[in-house]
């Protein structure tokens, strides 16, 4: 069955069952490997994207439930040549070790800054609390997000 889906500003026609997790469609059909498969159970946040303006665990939403909501993945923020300020701050602060959680961390930070451009440190920690990282780069991640929030006040 074909579904029309808007991802990173482009419309795609995807031939998949409506119950297919959005994560599989993004990675397997559209070749967007920013979102990662971590737990597949909605528990780790590695697969996060912004769907209809909300931070969403794409392993836990079915393609058929996306409807007309616009999907933004990590690839929709910036590129290697032209990174989004958050992507640049993560690089500058070396806010990754293995990097598996980085997609979710950056997308959660993006969702936070979209609704609160100047969050406090506590607000940053709270917004990222459910994004799991096994390497322990949390402090660097918080510094990266603070860096972007700080730049916005200048
Ligand atoms: Fe989706 Fe873990 S892979 S929350």
In this prediction, residues 75-103 reach a mean pLDDT of 96
| Residue of 22, 26, 43 best suited for mutating to test ligand 1, as the one with most atoms within 8 Å of CB | 43
> What is the per-residue pLDDT across 47-74, written as a single tens digit (0 to 9) for each?
999 999 999 999 999 999 999 999 999 9
pLDDT level of residue 35 (50, 70, 90 thresholds): very high
Phi, psi of 38 (to 5 degrees): -105, -75
Burial of 41 (0-12, 13-18, 19+ CB in 10 A): exposed
Average pLDDT over the chain, rounded to an integer: 96
Atom of ligand 1 nearest to the CA of 40: 3
CA of 41 to the centre of ligand 1 (A): 5
Nearest-5° Cα angle at 35, 72 to 25: 80
Structural domains in the chain, CATH included, are 2-76 (3.10.20.30), 85-152 (1.10.150.120)
> What is the per-residue pLDDT across 93-135, written as a single tens digit (0 to 9) for each?
999 999 999 999 999 999 999 999 999 999 999 999 999 999 9
Residue list, ligand 1 pocket, CB within 6 Å: 37-40, 42-47, 57, 59
């Amino acid at each position: 069955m074909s579904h029309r889906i808007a991802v990173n500003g482009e419309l795609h026609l995807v031939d998949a069952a409506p119950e297919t997790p959005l994560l599989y469609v993004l990675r397997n059909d559209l070749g967007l490997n920013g979102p990662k498969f971590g737990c597949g159970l909605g528990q780790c946040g590695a697969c996060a994207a912004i769907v209809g303006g909300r931070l969403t665990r794409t392993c836990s939403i079915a393609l058929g439930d996306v409807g007309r909501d616009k999907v933004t993945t990590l690839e929709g923020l910036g590129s290697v040549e032209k990174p989004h300020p958050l992507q640049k701050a993560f690089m500058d602060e070396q806010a990754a070790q293995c990097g598996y959680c980085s997609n979710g961390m950056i997308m959660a930070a993006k969702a936070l800054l979209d609704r609160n451009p100047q969050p406090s440190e506590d607000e940053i920690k709270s917004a990222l609390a459910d994004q799991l990282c096994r390497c322990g780069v949390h402090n660097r991640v918080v510094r990266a997000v603070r860096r972007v929030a700080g730049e916005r006040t200048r």
